[in-house]
Amino acid sequence: LLSAIPYIGKTVMEWLWGGFSVDNATLTRFFTLHFLFPFAIAALTAIHLMFLHEMGSNNPLGLNSDGEKMSFHSYYSFKDLVGFVILIMCLFLLTLFQPQLLTDPENFIQANSLVTPVHIQPEWYFLFAYAILRSIPNKLGGVIGLVMAILILFTLPLVKKGKFRSAAFYPLNQIMFWAFVTTFTILTWIGACSVETPY
pTM for the whole structure: 0.69
Q: Does domain 117-199 have CATH number 3.10.20.30?
A: no
Confidence class of residue 54 from pLDDT cuts 50, 70 and 90? confident
More confident residue, 88 or 198: 88
Active site residue 66: no
Q: Is 21 a catalytic residue?
A: no
* pLDDT classification of 55: cutoffs 50, 70, 90: confident
* Cis status, amide bond into 21, omega within 30 of 0: no
Q: Indicate whether 189 pLDDT > 90.
A: yes
Q: How many CB atoms lie within 10 A of CB 130?
A: 19
80 in catalytic set: yes
Is 57 a catalytic site residue?
Answer: yes
One-letter amino acid for residue 37 of the chain: F
Q: CA 101 → CA 108, 116, 193, distances in Å?
A: 12, 24, 21
Looking at the predicted structure, is the pLDDT value of residue 69 above 70?
no
Q: What is the pLDDT of residues 139-170, one digit of tens each?
A: 888 888 999 998 988 887 777 666 666 667 77
Residue 140 near residue 6 (C-beta atoms within 8 A): yes
For the chain, the domains span 1-55, 117-199
Active-site residue among 77, 80, 139, 166? Answer: 80
Which is more confidently placed, 31 or 5? 31
Q: Could you give the CA distance from residue 102 to residue 88 in angstroms, rounded to a whole number?
A: 17
- Catalytic residue, candidates 3, 57, 77, 166: 57
54, 66, 68, 123: the catalytic one is 123
Alpha-carbon distance values, 40 to 52, 125, 172 (Å): 18, 21, 37
Residue type at 186 in one-letter notation: I
Helix 171-192, helix 127-135: angle, nearest 10: 80
